[in-house]
Every structure is written in structure tokens, then in C-alpha cells.
Amino acid sequence: MMALLLRRLPCSSPSLLGHTARRPLAPLHCRFSSTASEAGQSSSQSTGLLVSVSKSKDSTISVISLQRPEAKNAISSALLYDLSNAVESVRHDEQTRAVIVRSRVPRVFCAGADLKERAKMSESDARVFVSKLRASMTAIDRLPQPTIACIDGVALGGGLELALACDFRIASPSAVVGLPETSLAIIPGAGGTQRLPRLVGLQRAKFLILTAQRLKGSDALTWGMVDFVTGENDHWLVDPNDSSKGDQGASGAMTEFDAMFESERADEWPAVCAGIRLAKMISAQGPVAIRAAKRALNEGMQTDLETGMDVERGAYDQVLDTHDRIEALNAFREKRKPHFTGK
């Protein structure tokens, strides 16, 4: 049974979208309302779940949280089982329009595979485990909703592969990312050798994997491994419900977002706060259109242009016969915001 829960994440480099200097983050609270009650949180913690799912108050955003602090969120068989269940619960949630993947462990996103557990596995056991891990990353990649990895601190090996399986990656300046498997005489086995070169190019991927190189947040942005670094280019991520103007509305520390937990601070978890802004931007759009666009983009990039155009045509046909399309036209005519229902 999937418990509901939530919590946290922590800024400099040229941007993929253009560099703009930002003022330092102020220690304001990053707020995000959750359907989980305090009692529900305690219950979840007592069940021993290593991965939990929480939802925004309006149910449009789901948050998958890793919470294995004693092992820096290392991916054990138990954590992988919980992660797979969390992903499947989100997949079948028609209300969810965007998904955030985050850690609840300070200074760590995910340290990779649980090497202590791996050392006790036979060769056949290790093969089965990696096969399940690969399948879980593929399941995340194929979620119909857009996914956002919020990286605070370390994301290595399988931890980075988890982030690579998401549609967007947001990092704090203190984040450290890499695929160091070759230093352990193995290779990335959960999609790293395939997804990384598709992001950064073959030559950069070869360098990073063959040298087991690790990059800090700003360098990861420069190399194209992440899309946003807080304090660097996250001014593109603006809460659509924020009515403030100018600089402050875009910086991440200037806006309070609905009420996550009173202890959730933007200066401690800026990547999560930026991820919430991006999730809100996505969830404000037509949900059927968002899913159709993601499918057209992903499937189209795996084939030739002519076939890709056929994929787009099918996706467009899907959104034509929807109530949301009519609602958007009516809202435009009536000069109001549309109210999308996903139908």
C-alpha cells in the first residue's frame, strides 16, 4: 500500500538558455501543499517505505521521494521495489499532470547502487537485479506525465541514471553528478550509456564514462547533463500563480508556494523549489495536450522525420476531440484563464 508523504533540496555557470546573473537565494520557505497529514507522514515513516509518494493539494503534481538516509539513498533491492511501486501508482493516476523525483536526505539525491548488498549477490543475482533496475528506469522514462528530477548533492551511478530517465533535471550548485562505474570495473547498466550521449553528445559521454568523471552543478549545466541550476538559469521557471513582478517573481526564493512543510526552506532545498515551479508551469497547461506532446516528442526522436510527422499527426488527432480544447477556445474568447479537466 502506497503511503503519501513529502520533503526537501539546495547555485553558478553559463546557461543553455542564456546566462542571467541572479541575486543570492533568501532563506524563505518553499511551500507546497500536500494531501498527507502529519499523522499520515508518521505512519509512512513507521512502515519503513524507502520511496514514498505525495500529492499537491489539487492532486495535479505527484512527488516521488527517496528516503534511505542511513545509506545515502543507495539503491537496494528494497528501495528498487518501493520505487517501482511508486512509479506504477503515478502512471495510473489520471489526476497527476507532472511528477517530481527528489530526495528527502540532505546533500544526497542518490549515491547509486548499494554496493554492500551487491557484494553479497551471486553473478546471476546481480544480473537479475540490474535487469530490474533497467526496467524501472525505462518505466520512469515512459511515464505519460512529464517528470522532473530535483538533484541536491550527490547523484552518482544509478542515481544519475534515475535522473537521466526523467524529462528534466534541475540541480543545486552543490550537486555532484557522474557515472563512475568504470572505476568499479563495470559499466552503467540502467541506461547511462544510452541516455547520457543522447543528452550531451557521444564524445562528451565517452569522456565522462571512460574517465569516471564527476561534475559539479554548474559544469553539469555547461555540459548539458542538467537543464537548470538554481541561481544560474532558473529565472525561466516562474510560478504561474505568482502575481509578483520583475526579478523577485523568478528567483525561487522570492515566492512562497502554497505550504509544503513549514521547515522546507528554499535556501536548503532550492532544486525542489525550482522543480515545483516547473511542475506548476506544466500542470497549468492542457493535461491531454501535455501527454500527447511528450509522446510525440519522445517517439518522434526515435525515428526518421517522415515517421515522426505521422506520430505528430496521431497525437494532434488525439487532442482535437477534447473538452479541454473547446474550453481553451471559450476562455480565449471570454478573456479568462481556462479550467482544464483532462477530458
Which of 111, 117, 161, 178 is the catalytic position? Answer: 161
Tell me whether residue 312 is one of the annotated catalytic residues.
Answer: no
The helix, strand and coil proportions of the chain, stated in percent and rounded to the nearest 5, come to: 45, 15, 40
Q: What is the pLDDT of residue 234?
A: 82
Domain with CATH 1.10.12 in the chain: 288-334
Which of 158, 191, 231, 275 is the catalytic position? Answer: 158
pLDDT in tens, 91-143: 999 999 999 999 999 999 999 999 999 999 999 999 999 999 999 999 999 99
Residue ranges in the chain whose pLDDT is less than 70: 1-47, 242-267
Which of 3, 113, 175, 205 is the catalytic position? Answer: 113
CATH of domain 38-284: 3.90.226.10
Top-tier CATH class for 288-334: mainly alpha
Q: What is the pLDDT of residue 95?
A: 94
Give, in order, the Cα–Cα distances in Å from 26 to each of 30, 239, 268, 270.
11, 17, 10, 10
C-alpha cell at 64: 516521488
66: helix, strand or coil = strand
Q: What is the pLDDT of residue 13?
A: 34
Q: What is the pLDDT of residue 197?
A: 98
Distance CA 64, CA 51 (A): 7
Q: What is the pLDDT of residue 239?
A: 77
Tell me whether residue 158 is one of the annotated catalytic residues.
Answer: yes
Domain with CATH 3.90.226.10 in the chain: 38-284
Q: Do residues 151 and 170 make contact, with C-beta atoms less than 8 angstroms apart?
A: yes
pLDDT in tens, 249-271: 333 433 344 444 444 566 678 89
Tell me whether residue 163 is one of the annotated catalytic residues.
Answer: no
- What pTM did the predictor assign? 0.82
- Helix (H), strand (E) at residue 134: helix 123-141
In order, the DSSP letters of 92-111 are T-TT--EEEEEESSTTEEE-
Tell me whether residue 334 is one of the annotated catalytic residues.
Answer: no
